[in-house]
Structure 1
Amino acid sequence: MTEHFKSLEKNTAYWGVPWEEAYGYAQAVQVGNEIYVSGQLSHDSNGNLIAPAELDQNGKPRDFSTMEAQMRATYENLATLLGRFGATLDNVVEETLYVLDVDAAFAVAGKVRKAAYGAERPQCASNLIGVSRLAMPPQLIEIACKAVLVPKATA
């Protein structure tokens, strides 16, 4: 017996940056009351990287001193994308930070995350994972998350 399933109704958001077309993906997808946000980088509205790491002769980051600036800009991008769905960082239930240097990320993550979420103890599950590289060599961090919208009560 073959089961037939209805297609998911999806609402998507894009930045309009070149890598969306090249790779072929949405920055965020809403299905029902859940929002899935693809890994975000520290870029401006034109796709220019903010605080890119200086690269060595092998094309790898020379130092990680721009981790804090990249992390702040990345959380700003997350907040902007979530806003397109009527959500805020307060709707985030889980986040994953992919970083090139775990020590550099831990050194700034506490204060940056607390400022971004506006709370001493942000109410979301968080994963911080060290990786060997990200999509763009000058990037030190990428953040993906899942958020949940809560229906407004009706009177």
Structure 2
Amino acid sequence: MGSRKNFTTGSPWEDIIGYCRAVRIGNTIEIAGTTAAKDAEGKAIEGLYNQTRAILEKLSGVLQDAGASVNDVVRTRMFLTDISQWEEAAKAHGEIFKDIKPVTTIVEVSKLIDPEILIEIEVTAIQD
């Protein structure tokens, strides 16, 4: 199977909940559900499109830390609090993954951990 390597962010929630940002086993990288960071004033980034772009940029960094890139992504899962706005998330997703074309799921959830958060994204990457 290959050795396991955990990638953490240093968040106190990782120990409280018992998770890490990403796990790499062999050539497979699984990244936990990720949301957009809040700004310096503690407010969420405005708009679904902007939150999606911010998350995808954050995920790109996590992939780089794990020795991979967005080109290695084979699956994304997007959890939206308002499915009627799916096109905003899809637009941002398409800007990154237009040529890569991972399998993708978009579903509506009743709410996320913070009411200002409109989307959470999970990623699976596999390197050749």
Give TM-score scaled by structure 2 length.
0.87
- CA distance in structure 1 between the partners assigned to 2:100 and 2:72 by the alignment: 11
- CA distance in structure 1 between the partners assigned to 2:45 and 2:69 by the alignment: 24
CA pair 49-43 structure 1, distance change in 2 beyond 3 A: farther
Q: Deviations over 1:39-79 (max 9, x none)?
A: 011016x9x66416xxxxxxxxxxxxx11111111101110
The CA deviation at 1:21 is 2.8
- Alignment equivalent of 1:128, drawn from 84, 106, 112: 106
- Alignment equivalent of 1:14, drawn from 8, 29, 36: 8
CA pair 126-145 structure 1, distance change in 2 beyond 3 A: same
SS of 2:24's equivalent in the other structure is: strand
Q: Which aligned pairs between 1:29-68 and structure 2 lie closer than 5 A? A: 29-43=23-37, 50-51=44-45, 66-68=47-49
Q: Is the 8 Å Cα contact of residues 42 and 49 (structure 1) preserved in structure 2?
A: no
Instruction: Pick the structure with more strand per residue.
Output: 2
* Count of matched residue pairs: 126
SS of 1:137's equivalent in the other structure is: coil
Instruction: Pick the structure with more helix per residue.
Output: 2
What percentage of residue pairs aligned between the two structures are identical? 27
**Max radius of gyration: which structure?**
1
- CA distance in structure 2 between the partners assigned to 1:16 and 1:39 by the alignment: 16
Structure number with higher relative contact order (C-alpha < 8 Å, ≥ 6 residues apart): 2
Give TM-score scaled by structure 1 length.
0.73
Q: Is the 8 Å Cα contact of residues 113 and 122 (structure 1) preserved in structure 2?
A: no
Which residue in the other structure is 2:58 paired with?
Answer: 77
Provide structure 2 residue ranges, at least 5 long, that are not aligned to the other structure.
none
Which residue in the other structure is 1:110 paired with?
Answer: 90
When the two chains are superposed, the root-mean-square deviation of aligned CA atoms in Å is: 2.1
Q: Is the 8 Å Cα contact of residues 77 and 122 (structure 2) preserved in structure 1?
A: yes
Q: Is the 8 Å Cα contact of residues 98 and 131 (structure 1) preserved in structure 2?
A: yes
Which residue in the other structure is 1:98 paired with?
Answer: 79
Provide structure 1 residue ranges, at least 5 long, that are not aligned to the other structure.
1-5, 53-65, 151-155
Q: Is the 8 Å Cα contact of residues 44 and 116 (structure 2) preserved in structure 1?
A: no
Q: Is the 8 Å Cα contact of residues 40 and 142 (structure 1) preserved in structure 2?
A: yes
Which amino acid counterpart does residue 27 of structure 1 have in structure 2? Answer: R
SS of 1:144's equivalent in the other structure is: strand
